[in-house]
Structure 1
Amino acid sequence: MARIIRKTALAALCITAVGAGLVACEDDDEGFLDGLDDNPSVSKPALDGLSGTKKISIQGSSVNVACSGSRTDGKPVVVVLAGLDDDLTTTAAFRKTLSTQHRVCSFDRLGQGKSAKPAGVQSLAAGGKILTGVLDQVAGDTPVVLAGHSLGGLVAARYAPDHQDRVKGLVLLDATSPTTSGDIEKVIPASATGQSADLRAQTAQVAKGQNSEKLAFPDAEVRPAGDIPVEVIQHGTKYLGAFPVYGSGLEKVWAEGQRKWAGISSNSKLSTAAGSAHHIYVDRADLAVKAVQRVTAQVTQ
């Protein structure tokens, strides 16, 4: 039981347990602003009729994209961003449910699923260029709502403030804290030993890009995205609390991180998904779907 709890906690904090040991997942905010608008919007989405998956070229890299549902004038396109070490298959059921009322797309970030592997460590700016290229092709000039889980939520929330012209709403599902490395260091002291020391060290390593996406996501303050509608949903099953010695502290800083994300907009709502662990869109798909529907309804008005 202890091993299962440890593995789940590490996964939520962007680390995974492999075999008998721990390894990093092979999976200045100013820097995030650099070069995000290299791909201009197109008037008509190139993948408007896509139903299923397709590989497209963005910034010279092959990116695996999936779309379903019909685009309706006045309604935003919903783009789902999965967490670290997840891919299009992980969010398939969630997207299928959403597609009954919305045009929904998702993609494997570089290093995820069937997309190309990054050549080296990626900054959030580089990841932002890929996201911009995807939005150009799946949404064009149509407004977008980003629904991000875990690390996908962090990516969405870092991207939105600089793209309020197209990102009109956010749904953040147990998003990785904006200060995840500092959070862990605050809870687990440098003097810790054993698996607690491993968690502290490897959280820092993963945040520096030692993960499957080679994506570095340094701690940074939450920057405002105006008054766009935002729903932040945190897990209700306190599985991090079962981590030896420091579990209650881990739960506390995780909740603090969710409150920080709620500060991204003056029009935000923070709620808890009762009965759900980290993958809220699986454990409580009903809540995740309703959150997306509420946000899209505000965008449509």
Structure 2
Amino acid sequence: MSRKASALIALCCAVAGVALSACDEATESESSAEDRVAFTGTQKIKVGERSVNVSCAGDPVEGRPVVVLLHGGGDDVGKLAGLQNTLAAQGQVCSYDRLGAGASDQPDGPQSFESTGKILTGVIDRVAGGKPVVLAGHSLGGLIAGRYAPDHQDRVKGLVLMDATSPTQAADLRQHIPQSATGMAAELRDQTLAVIAGQGPEKLVVPDGEVRPAGTIPVEVIQHGKPYLAAVPEYGAALERAWSEGQRKWLALSARGNLSTAATSEHYIYVDQPDLAVRAIQRVTDEAAKSS
């Protein structure tokens, strides 16, 4: 396989969480009720028996939700640092490493949306206390945010999904890359399906499912505009169409959903077009503040 093909496989699989990268060292902090005050910098908190690496920047603003950033598969809080620091000019912004990522603990076994959601709840309790939050997730982080919000409408008052993993990714892959495929396409299919089955570093099992409504919260869905998946031989065009359809499915989260395209971005929209990502998150946070 060529170096270019291998790189593309790695990028596509990162959508579902194949790679794992390291994070900076942090200090230990218990997540007791007394500790639920704003902090800046990086701390390790306890969620149940697990140690979770959390990074925060900016000061709380009265009446404004706390923004919580969710990284993509294979990433960590370090990848989000630039976005977090820019957003911090408007208020408190936090991110965290999920179990199996960055400097957080490794999972004991397979994770589910329920178990990874409990970690997210623990982080929200620590950084936001009783304040509402806006979740902004990239790739797998967007998928987790989209699954979490419907069950936590009392806390989640806005969503920004940046090229979020399709809610039907497994079915999309099976439909558009047949088992008879060879080479790069076959590797992409097999590796991504393995990760979806819980064989990635986070051990998160990612079943397909319908998108459930999360109330009438503002939702921004941003999809990539540069068709990098089209480089997959023979099946690339179909994969791009399936990805776009997956983004449209996320609009079922809310009647106040909006879909836009980052024209010059590949998968990492907040890296390729950071100003666009910042404006979307600020817009949703502003709308959520007015509704709170």
Same fold (TM over 0.5): yes
- 1:68 is aligned to 57
Structure 2 CA distance for partners of 1:9 and 1:254, relative to 1, 3 Å: farther
Worse overlay, 7-16 or 288-297: 7-16
Measured after TM superposition, the shift of residue 228 of structure 1 is: 0.6
Structure 2 CA distance for partners of 1:132 and 1:289, relative to 1, 3 Å: same
Root-mean-square deviation (Å): 2.0
Letter in 2 for 1:92: A
**Helix, strand or coil for the counterpart of 1:169?**
strand
CA contact (8 A) 1:46 1:138 kept: no
Structure 2 CA distance for partners of 1:233 and 1:9, relative to 1, 3 Å: farther
**Helix, strand or coil for the counterpart of 1:160?**
helix
- 1:25 is aligned to 18
Letter in 2 for 1:192: A
- 2:165 is aligned to 176
67, 85, 90: which one pairs with 1:101?
Answer: 90
Output one character per residue of 1:93-135: Cα deviation in whole Å (capped at 9) or x when no partner: 0000000002000100001100000011111110000000000
Q: TM-score, normalised by structure 1?
A: 0.89
Q: TM-score, normalised by structure 2?
A: 0.91
- 2:239 is aligned to 250
Output one character per residue of 1:189-239: Cα deviation in whole Å (capped at 9) or x when no partner: 121122222222222111011111111111111111111100000001111
Higher helix share: 2
1:4 and 1:265 map into 2 onto residues whose CA distance is: 39
Measured after TM superposition, the shift of residue 10 of structure 1 is: 4.3
- 1:271 is aligned to 260
**Residue identity (%):** 55
1:4 and 1:132 map into 2 onto residues whose CA distance is: 39
Aligned pairs for 1:88-167 (under 5 A) are 88-167=77-156
Letter in 2 for 1:219: D
**Helix, strand or coil for the counterpart of 2:35?**
coil
Tell me if 1:297 matches 2:283: no
CA contact (8 A) 2:15 2:140 kept: no
**Helix, strand or coil for the counterpart of 1:142?**
coil
Letter in 2 for 1:234: Q
Tell me if 1:3 matches 2:3: yes
Question: Which structure 1 segments of 5+ residues have no match?
Answer: 17-23, 28-41
Question: Which structure 2 segments of 5+ residues have no match?
Answer: 21-30
CA contact (8 A) 2:15 2:165 kept: no
CA contact (8 A) 1:26 1:213 kept: no
**Helix, strand or coil for the counterpart of 2:51?**
strand
55, 74, 77: which one pairs with 2:44?
Answer: 55
Structure 2 CA distance for partners of 1:47 and 1:67, relative to 1, 3 Å: farther
Letter in 2 for 1:224: P
Letter in 1 for 2:8: T
CA contact (8 A) 1:48 1:138 kept: yes
Letter in 1 for 2:183: G
1:188 and 1:177 map into 2 onto residues whose CA distance is: 15
1:26 and 1:83 map into 2 onto residues whose CA distance is: 10
**Helix, strand or coil for the counterpart of 2:261?**
strand
1:98 and 1:242 map into 2 onto residues whose CA distance is: 33
